[in-house]
Amino acid sequence: MGALGLALYVGVATFQMWTDADIAGYHTKGQQKPLPIHQGPYRFVRHPRYVAATMGKVAFALVFANWPGWIMVLLWGAFLLRKIEIEEAHVRTLFGGGYEAYQQRTARVPPGIY
């Protein structure tokens, strides 16, 4: 399990770097009218940073193979799902219909999970 956890963590770190580079590029474009970000990892899930953070916790639970790690995964996941609800309510006020359309075509977190 330890090797699987380490491999997962490498993948998660790579995904996180892609996400960070993409969002940094989005914020440096100097757009006149802000639009919901929908390129890079954001075309697959609306919250790729949170997905990466949660998967990082899963990787550590696999590496250390103990129940406190899995409890942390569950608590972290519940915390982030609540945070997502709050953030999405705010983002809808910023982007309106543009964000609602994005919500309709993009999963909140990995497709099939939520």
Query: Which tens digits make up the pLDDT trace of 32-69?
Result: 566 777 788 988 899 999 999 999 999 999 999 999 99
- Quote the number of domains for the chain: 1
- pLDDT bracket for residue 114 (50, 70, 90): low
Question: Does residue 74 carry a pLDDT above 70?
Answer: yes
Is 57 within a domain? yes
Token pair listed for 14: 């790579």
Residue 55: inside a domain = yes
Please give the radius of gyration of the chain, using alpha carbons only, rounded to the nearest integer.
16
- In a 3-state reduction of DSSP, which class is residue 25? helix
Q: Is residue 113 part of a domain?
A: no
Domain that holds residue 78: 2-105
| Tens of pLDDT, residues 96-112 | 888 888 888 888 887 66
Place of tokens 């543009």: 98
Angle (deg, nearest 10), helices 2-27 and 48-64: 160
